[in-house]
Structure 1
């Protein structure tokens, strides 16, 4: 199997690595598909691989007594398997594909060895870990303080950033997990955003019509993908 070339990768973390750090990983990186709804990491199970997303979206989902709720998103700005970079072997969260795509996969042990060998690699991946922690913290704040409509606007913007297209594959089931609310509440919030000409909703699809209005509604709690 041919090694990936750094000039051809779409994952922003891999593209940002120093050439010698990319070389540490290249021989261990395996291109794999990300099928819709595939579970990449299961809760409380040993993490066997990390995934550098090339295309698509992976959600980090927490299980609560009231059901599943999404706490974070990763696209090609980051990687799945953050606990590996923190020296952990398991996580209570589920990593599940919400928009199909592709990734470059690496065994957990190979990534650990590369991190042990390179401080510069640790710094680059550490900056992404920080950005993900900020994102999760913002999600907690949004769930506690924002209206459902503002939270919906924020999630739509986050998906829009990562897919880089106006038509987004978002069902009411997915949106209800993102927002931690029941589907009728999602329907009402979607109708409100559509009535304000921010989005257009069709079965299983949401089209971004006016991004600036969505940003105004989401407010300062929204941040672009990968921003710290």
Structure 2
């Protein structure tokens, strides 16, 4: 199987690597499909594989028993399993599950750790990404503690939007309720509120973003810091999308 070319990959973290660092990883990168609902990393199970998503995104959730709350998202900007593998932990209590189907490149955790140990520049770039994940987690904690449901929903919609092409998200109420740690009825009311304000259009299992700037204002600063850090430390920000006219 031919090795991927750095200029052709869709994962922003891979594209941001020094060419020699990418060349060190390329022989170990295997294309994989990421179907909806696939659990890439199970809680407290040995981490054998990491994934650089090309499209779609993965939900990072924590919880106990039947109660789970999403604490992060990983998409084309990142690497699933980055923190535990790079920090020499064989397991994590968090679940990593595909919440929007896509594809990516898988790499054996052992191969990734060996390459990072061998090349300081590669390790530095990957740890810079881990830093942005920590920032994302901090903003999630703040949002859950200080913001109302509409503001938290606006933040998650923006984060999901950053990880897809276009301005329409395929999201179920079940997924949104898990993300936000609330009942489906609360999600329905929050979506209706955002739609009534002209920020989104809510369709069956789909949400069309109509006013990105309006959603950003509604987050009260809880969206943007991790994204700015990523642009500063790793790669240029994505080209802003025009507001939807539909």
Deviations 1:38-89 (CA, angstroms, capped at 9, x unpaired): 0000000000011011111001011235611100001110000121011111
Q: CA separation in 2, counterparts of 1:29 and 1:66?
A: 35
- Matched residue, 1:199: 200
Q: Residue 135 of structure 2 contacts residue 226 of structure 2 at CA under 8 Å; is this kept in 1?
A: no
Q: For residues 226 and 118 of structure 1, do their structure 2 counterparts lie closer, same or farther at Cα, with a shift above 3 Å needed? A: farther
Q: Residue 52 of structure 1 contacts residue 78 of structure 1 at CA under 8 Å; is this kept in 2?
A: yes
TM-score (norm 1): 0.97
Deviations 1:170-211 (CA, angstroms, capped at 9, x unpaired): 111010011100000111111100100100111100000111
1:1-228 alignment runs, 5 A limit: 1-64=1-64, 67-82=67-82, 83-223=84-224, 226-228=227-229
Deviations 1:115-134 (CA, angstroms, capped at 9, x unpaired): 11000001100110000010
Unaligned runs of 5+ in 2: 230-246
Q: CA separation in 1, counterparts of 2:225 and 2:24?
A: 29
Q: Residue 135 of structure 2 contacts residue 225 of structure 2 at CA under 8 Å; is this kept in 1?
A: no
Q: CA separation in 2, counterparts of 1:55 and 1:188?
A: 29
Q: How many residues align?
A: 228
Structural RMSD (CA): 1.1
Q: Residue 162 of structure 1 contacts residue 225 of structure 1 at CA under 8 Å; is this kept in 2?
A: no
Q: CA separation in 1, counterparts of 2:227 and 2:6?
A: 19
Q: CA separation in 2, counterparts of 1:66 and 1:104?
A: 31
Q: CA separation in 2, counterparts of 1:124 and 1:190?
A: 37
TM-score (norm 2): 0.90
Question: Shift of residue 226 of structure 1?
Answer: 4.1
Q: For residues 144 and 65 of structure 1, do their structure 2 counterparts lie closer, same or farther at Cα, with a shift above 3 Å needed? A: farther
Question: Shift of residue 224 of structure 1?
Answer: 6.9
* 4+ residue runs over 6 A deviation: none
